[in-house]
Amino acid sequence: MWCEDCVAGLSQRLEPGSVDVVVTSPPYNLGTRYKKYDDTLARQDYVDWMGHWGQAVH
């Protein structure tokens, strides 16, 4: 088990094509108050962020 940024961990620890299924529950950018995450990103920033990790798991 690693405690790290998931996108960095995916690219450093897993071989391409080695994962068959990804289950995730990302923040939905609805303004929920988290301790360490800003859930009030501008729409385009949120879409860009989703695309960033989406590409990593693809």
Looking at residue 7, what is its pLDDT? Answer: 85
- Average pLDDT, 10 consecutive residues per value, the chain (58 residues): 85 87 90 89 94 87
Looking at residue 5, what is its pLDDT? Answer: 86
Mean pLDDT of the chain: 89
What DSSP line would sit under 7-53, residue for residue? HHHHHHHS-TT--S--------SS--B-SS-B----HHHHHHHHHHH
Looking at residue 22, what is its pLDDT? Answer: 87
Looking at residue 56, what is its pLDDT? Answer: 83
CA dihedral over 29, 31, 33, 35, signed as positive or negative: positive
